[in-house]
Amino acid sequence: MSTRESRLEDTGIRLSEATAADFFALLKPRVMALAVFTAFVGLMTAPGAMNPVIAVIAIAAIAIGAGAAGALNMWYDADIDALMSRTAKRPVPSGRVSPGEALGFGLVLSALSVMTLGVLVGWLAASLLAFTIFFYVVIYTMWLKRSTPQNIVIGGAAGALPPVIGWAAATGAVGIESSILFLIIFLWTPPHFWALALFKVGDYAAAGIPMMPNVAGEASTRKQIFAYALILAPIGVLPWPFGFASGFYGAVATALGIGFIWHAWKVLAAPDKEMRPAKALFAFSIAYLFAIFATLLADTIVARAVGSF
Ligand code: HEM
Ligand SMILES: CC(C)=CCC/C(C)=C/CC/C(C)=C/COP(=O)(O)OP(=O)(O)O
């Protein structure tokens, strides 16, 4: 301890032990990176040319807003995060960041991101960002997560909104196209998360969180995962018949959808307590969403270059 720290301790003032890395971890950077990528694709696939500086500001604001939502989630969930092996080392439960610091950090960044988006880009996008943060923090984290096994089905709407925000930032409107992107992520979320919940069922039981496997049981969760995969696969192809992606996208999305169903089938067919297929599906789900949005982006860039739409 430095002399200054020991003098402060004598006076009863506790210096935070938090480092910049701890505050960065509060933003849930790995998870939010994919959400921000979907917002970027929403913005890029929207019709019309956007000023590149405004586009960069919009994506930065959405990234800060997504991170702020993560910090507020970690502030509220510190009690249950402390009880789960996967989350116990997070900055708040491990005591490196105080709850007050996490709350203040999340609130300031939320306000900053919404105001920046509103003033410099547009108020529809800003309102959607504010709604998304509110939905994730208040509706999902504070209410549904601890009260119903449908928590992530409904809460998934928050994770599905980023491409709608990106599209609104570019066009000032919510189109049928961005609603389809919303639907893809919305239907993707249950199999993405329940695959993880299957092999982390002990964690959620220890924390008393009513996730599907510990409420409805493993067998029912496996069936529900498969059902969502069957619906997701064709919905993932829709950008092609709706005319904002080419047949190339349609072919890639079809192959990815078949891969998703195959992984979900392996989960359904696995014997009790065999978790390898669930782990494989969880990894595939992330690759699937990234690949769907990356293909849509590449498709749009090529189509614009050759002037087809
Ligand atoms: C209610 C909705 C969702 C729930 C409950 C959920 C839950 C989770 C959980 C618990 C993890 C493990 C996180 C960790 O310990 O690091 C995870 C990982 C991940 N999630 Fe989700 N997720 C949801 C939606 C999303 C969305 C919308 C995206 C992006 C569009 C996303 C992207 C990811 C990524 C990229 C990872 C892997 C992170 C890593 O590599 O550590 N998730 N998800
Ligand atoms: C623009 C904006 C605000 C975007 C938000 C995107 C969003 C809501 C993503 C949800 C992703 C996520 C980490 C869920 C985790 O659930 P959890 O909190 O139950 O997971 P945990 O157990 O790891 O804390």
* Three-state secondary-structure class, residue 58: helix
Kindly state if the Cβ of 93 falls inside 6 Å of ligand 1.
no
137 lines ligand 1 (CB under 6 A): no
Q: Is the CB of 187 under 6 A from ligand 1?
A: no
Given the cut 0.85, state whether the ipTM is greater than it.
yes
Contact 153, 190 (CB under 8 A): yes
Alpha carbon nearest to ligand 2 atom 2, residue = 66
pLDDT digits (tens), the chain, 309 positions: 444 444 444 444 455 678 899 999 999 999 999 999 999 999 999 998 889 999 999 999 999 999 999 999 999 999 999 999 999 999 999 999 999 999 999 999 999 999 999 999 999 999 999 999 999 999 999 999 999 999 999 999 999 999 999 999 999 999 999 999 999 999 999 999 999 999 988 899 999 999 999 999 999 999 999 999 999 999 999 999 999 999 999 999 999 999 999 999 999 999 888 899 999 999 999 999 999 999 999 999 998 888 765
Closest by Cα among 162, 102, 108, 167 to 131:
162
Q: Which residues line ligand 2 (CB under 6 A)?
A: 28, 31, 35, 62, 65-66, 69, 73, 77, 87, 129, 132-133, 136, 145, 158-159, 162
pTM metric for this prediction: 0.93
Q: Is the CB of 196 under 6 A from ligand 1?
A: yes
Q: State whether the beta carbon of 270 lies less than 6 angstroms from ligand 1.
A: no
Cα dihedral 45, 179, 146, 279 in deg (nearest 10):
-60
Contact 164, 179 (CB under 8 A): yes
Farthest-apart Cα atoms in the chain, separation = 71
